[in-house]
Structure 1
Amino acid sequence: MMKRLLILLSVMSIFSDIGAQNNLPVRKAAVAGQFYSDDAEALEKYFEKEFNQITIAPNDKKVRAIIVPHAGYVYSGRTAAWGFATLREKNIYKNVFILGSSHIAAFDGATVFHGSAFETPLGSAEINAEITGILQQNNIFKFPQQYQIEDHVLEVEIPFLQYILEPGFKIIPITIGTKSSYALNKIAETLKPYFTEENLFVISTDLSHYPSYSDAVKADSTVVQSILSGNPETFDSVVRSNENSGIQNYRTAICGYSAVYVLMSIAGSSQGFAYEKLKYSNSGDISGDFDRVVGYAAVAVRASDKKEIDETNDTFAISENDKIIMFEIARGSIESRLSGVTYSLPDSLSKILNEKCGVFVTLHLNDKLRGCIGTFRQDRELSRNIQEMATAAAFNDPRFDPLSKEEYKNIDLEISVLTPMQKIDSVKQIVLGKHGIYIKRGNMAGTFLPQVATETGWTLEEFLGHCCRDKAGIGWDGWKDEDTEIFIYEAIILTENKD
């Protein structure tokens, strides 16, 4: 099949007048042959291979948005495919809004490409010129569409759409040139009426740029977790905190910050959407270079099930003072054991510390797990559970030797307060990064905290499989057995302030 030449000419040569649709321009492929193959047959074979390796748990809720990476396919294509694979079952959309943050220029709003089509080796993806024309009448979208001509950020997503969706959809290509909250909220306000079941939003972004592999995994997990919260303010806070944390070679937390923020503002203000993490990876997984990597994640957004865990916000409202006391109890219990004395709980405790709920206490030494023990017991006060689980994690985790006084000097603690468990009928109710799982068959049982999925980058099937095989001892596919019971819960994760 004849290969298409990569267009590296001037703007005049990239714009072509096709003599149709009122002489609107065609946006030619700018990075075919660089970021992805410029040969249609090779692209088809690539997609067939990638999608055949992906199994997505069935879900009767139609995907409303996906967040996917935009690096070269060799690096991020597999992770992106996890996002697009969620579209296979219900793959008919009227319009696809593709949003990314400009990698070409900074400007105080957004640019929408008002043309007839985007061309790729797989053909032309028609632009909805009616919608792009309407958007361009809004001042926030009036910035030059030439900014999109050579930018890869939207283009790399289009071949995926052409392969996975039923023909007939039209695209609305939008790049954003600002991080101004005022501008982003205006963009979200303008696009919100289009956030309907007949339309799909594709958000194009990579995660951390250029830290080490281990730093990327940690930093990216917090950013992904903040996205799963569905709260744009939480997302913004985590991104700012990460970018000010002093991580070496950390150029940015997420290059598509603006596009993600807009999506979260739209969905967040339209109650009832759940974010699901599908896959995490970084460039080091492919290149073998662990000193300088870029992170990638795939996330899907669907309408959430009506039945949600009752988080009883009043019961689980944890103040900063409550948090301080919890860590004082945990450390006091460990220190007393090391010193050979008896620890006594404080006489006066707040409401939350007297609540009867489960807890896990996790120890890290030099950023590596050093112990983790927890309980789901809801017949004992949280304060007592923290006391017992802290000493158990330090001295009775069978995977480690008892904690020494020397090790204790460098220990970091994490406390996860657990909400009540809820039995589920379908694994599609599990939201990765939000829900912990407890899997039980007969006398065999195992659990994973919510953060395990985020930290490992596992898919839903991997999360379930590892829990069944490695924790419950019922085999990788044990969760599929009709006698297996699956429960979900949430965890309020607390980390120490070391200031």
Structure 2
Amino acid sequence: MKALFLLSPFLLFFSLLAGETTRECVVCGSFYPADKTALRIELQNAFSNAPEFSKKDIKALIVPHAGYIFSADVAATAYRTLHRKYKNIFLIGASHYINFDGVSINPKNYETLLGIVQTNHSLVKKLLHKYPKLFHYKKEAHQQEHSLEVQLPFLQFIYKNDFKIIPIILATSNIKTIQQTAKALKPYFNDKDNLFIISSDLSHYPNYKDALVVDQHTLKSITKNSPKLFLDTIKNNAHLGINNLQTSACGWTAITLLLELSKKKHCRYEILQYKNSAQTRGYGDKNRVVGYGAIRMYENETTFTLNDQEKKELKELARLALYEAVLHDKRISVDASKLSPKLSKHLGTFVTLKEQGQLRGCIGRFEPNAPLYEVIIDMAISASRYDNRFSPVTPEELSNIEIEISVLTPRHRVNSVDDIVVGKHGIYVSYGGRNGTYLPQVATDLGWNKEQFFYSCCVEKAGIAPEHCKDAELYVYEAIVF
């Protein structure tokens, strides 16, 4: 009687590598040029046309995967914001070909016209061995799949072939399975040296005008960093009665996975670019379009502190600036190299002047667009001269002036009003080009709860219509007062 042996995922991995080890390119000549020179020119043009954005330490990208003639410019906009190397690049898409309740992870290297892309074999082996009921290798999930392959030339353009990928295809729409996958990948997501790339187009086949509406709903829901809100938006879009709308995002499962990974972290999803096929170099048919979005995700800075010496330095700068402006009508100059490095960080701040306990002037700058020490100097001068509620400070008053400084910590996006801590957080709201802010003490001084704090800032400070407050972007920050 012959013994029957079943290969474990661990042994299966080695058996796969012992045979065919490279997944050849299958969509060159259809999704992107079949000639290496033409491909390089295509990529060069796409990156050259991409707008520039401020440098951020990016944790994830959401990029389209259509033919380059349609979506290369949008994808390049996201890829151009990468500015450092990563230990691993998790490349994640949804299957266009098969369905099963699990995830297929490919142990093979990938080949494009630009060379061989290495898969991190040891990490793939580890995932297959540790989660055998969740991670599988199904050749048919990767064999014809374009959603991962089309991303590789962009990465090769940036990094040559000096990077490693973990190619993952979600073949399920089971939310529980997606959540389990997120839990398994969480340690790798938390590692700042890993990058996650999510491959997904947006709406499929509505007309041009409907696509603009649906895709904005979808993109905006992603920026809220809530998998539930994103899934609700997808469902709501499906019930809008839009002709020919087959999906709001073909890679919605992969996007959901990323949102599950980031939902409890202070992550910012930034929309970089949107186009649909009618706005691209493709055929331009406005009756039947596909949407494409570029999004980058990074963690907001959430902590900033000043020690006693740094506070003392800032107080001295403010007082010197005040005296020099009032006595000699001049602005002081500062050698930043002699200051604590933290004082050159770009932060907003308010400078308040009091005389015998009474307000004598208060001017602030909310936007973090200049070094802190420079803002302190400018606001001290402005508070003494340009607060329209008061006459300018005179030389005779200087000895009685007390200075209070409020340094605003970096703001970060939150998902809802529930995340506001009254007395601790200041808030900043933005919607439709309107914005406004309240310092933390506003809520405590007026005895407001978090809802009153938020809605007053929206309606009374920012001028946002009450019915749009629920759609406003909400940020919180803290004030270091001394």
TM over 0.5: yes
Among 88, 98, 104, the residue aligned to 1:105? 98
- CA drift at 1:303: 1.4
* Shift in alpha-carbon separation, 1:219–1:131, aligned structure 2, 3 A: same
Contact 2:417 2:454 in 1 (8 A): no
Among 38, 61, 68, the residue aligned to 1:66? 61
Q: Measure, in 2, the Cα distance between the counterparts of 1:309 and 1:253.
A: 28
Q: Measure, in 2, the Cα distance between the counterparts of 1:147 and 1:295.
A: 24
Task: Give the 3-state SS of the residue equivalent to 2:186 in structure 1.
Answer: helix
Contact 2:88 2:164 in 1 (8 A): yes
- CA drift at 1:21: 6.1
Matching residue of 1:202: 197
Contact 2:266 2:412 in 1 (8 A): no
* Shift in alpha-carbon separation, 1:182–1:354, aligned structure 2, 3 A: closer
Give the structure-1-normalised TM-score.
0.60
- CA drift at 1:351: 7.2
Contact 1:108 1:177 in 2 (8 A): yes
Give the unaligned 5+ runs of structure 1. Answer: 1-18, 318-349, 360-374, 378-384, 390-413, 420-432, 436-487, 491-499
Q: Measure, in 2, the Cα distance between the counterparts of 1:310 and 1:275.
A: 9
Task: Give the 3-state SS of the residue equivalent to 2:468 in structure 1.
Answer: strand
Give the structure-2-normalised TM-score.
0.62
- CA drift at 1:63: 0.9
Contact 1:283 1:294 in 2 (8 A): yes
Contact 2:411 2:476 in 1 (8 A): no
Matching residue of 2:111: 119
Contact 2:95 2:145 in 1 (8 A): yes
* Shift in alpha-carbon separation, 1:118–1:356, aligned structure 2, 3 A: closer
Contact 2:116 2:161 in 1 (8 A): no
- CA drift at 1:194: 1.1
Contact 1:357 1:417 in 2 (8 A): no
For residues 241-256 of structure 1, the aligned pairs below 5 Å read 241-256=236-251
Contact 1:136 1:142 in 2 (8 A): yes
For residues 444-463 of structure 1, the aligned pairs below 5 Å read none
- CA drift at 1:354: 11
Matching residue of 1:237: 232
Task: Give the 3-state SS of the residue equivalent to 1:357 in structure 2.
Answer: helix
Contact 1:315 1:352 in 2 (8 A): no
Matched-pair identity in %? 34
- CA drift at 1:105: 0.9
- CA drift at 1:355: 6.0
Q: Measure, in 2, the Cα distance between the counterparts of 1:355 and 1:156.
A: 45
Q: Measure, in 2, the Cα distance between the counterparts of 1:78 and 1:26.
A: 28
**How many residues get paired?**
322
* Shift in alpha-carbon separation, 1:309–1:205, aligned structure 2, 3 A: closer
User: Does 2:197 align with 1:94?
Assistant: no
Q: Measure, in 2, the Cα distance between the counterparts of 1:356 and 1:187.
A: 41
Give the letter for the 1:129 counterpart: H
Matching residue of 1:131: 123
Q: Measure, in 2, the Cα distance between the counterparts of 1:315 and 1:151.
A: 40
User: Does 2:26 align with 1:26?
Assistant: no
Matching residue of 1:416: 468
User: Does 2:143 align with 1:149?
Assistant: yes
Q: Measure, in 1, the Cα distance between the counterparts of 2:202 and 2:76.
A: 16
Task: State the superposition RMSD in angstroms.
Answer: 3.0
Give the letter for the 2:51 counterpart: T
Q: Measure, in 2, the Cα distance between the counterparts of 1:315 and 1:143.
A: 41
Give the letter for the 1:31 counterpart: V
Contact 2:115 2:161 in 1 (8 A): no
Q: Measure, in 1, the Cα distance between the counterparts of 2:453 and 2:187.
A: 44
Matching residue of 1:261: 256
* Shift in alpha-carbon separation, 1:358–1:253, aligned structure 2, 3 A: closer
* Shift in alpha-carbon separation, 1:357–1:71, aligned structure 2, 3 A: same
Matching residue of 1:37: 33
* Shift in alpha-carbon separation, 1:216–1:351, aligned structure 2, 3 A: closer
- CA drift at 1:41: 1.3
Larger Rg: 2
Q: Measure, in 1, the Cα distance between the counterparts of 2:243 and 2:469.
A: 32
Matching residue of 1:344: none
- CA drift at 1:357: 3.4
Q: Give deviations 1:55-76, integer Å, cap 9, x for gaps.
A: 32222x3111100000000001
Give the unaligned 5+ runs of structure 2. Answer: 1-14, 303-409, 422-449, 478-482
Contact 1:96 1:200 in 2 (8 A): yes
Among 192, 198, 221, the residue aligned to 2:216? 221
Contact 2:120 2:166 in 1 (8 A): yes
Task: Give the 3-state SS of the residue equivalent to 2:417 in structure 1.
Answer: coil
Give the letter for the 1:47 counterpart: L
Task: Give the 3-state SS of the residue equivalent to 1:415 in structure 2.
Answer: helix
Matching residue of 2:338: none
Task: Give the 3-state SS of the residue equivalent to 1:416 in structure 2.
Answer: helix
Contact 1:93 1:169 in 2 (8 A): yes
Q: Measure, in 2, the Cα distance between the counterparts of 1:245 and 1:155.
A: 33
For residues 50-449 of structure 1, the aligned pairs below 5 Å read 50-59=46-55, 61-87=56-82, 89-90=83-84, 92-115=85-108, 117-137=109-129, 138=131, 139-165=133-159, 167-195=161-189, 196-269=191-264, 271-286=265-280, 287-306=283-302, 307-308=410-411, 313=417, 352=452, 356-359=456-459, 376=461, 415-417=467-469, 434=473
Contact 2:117 2:161 in 1 (8 A): no
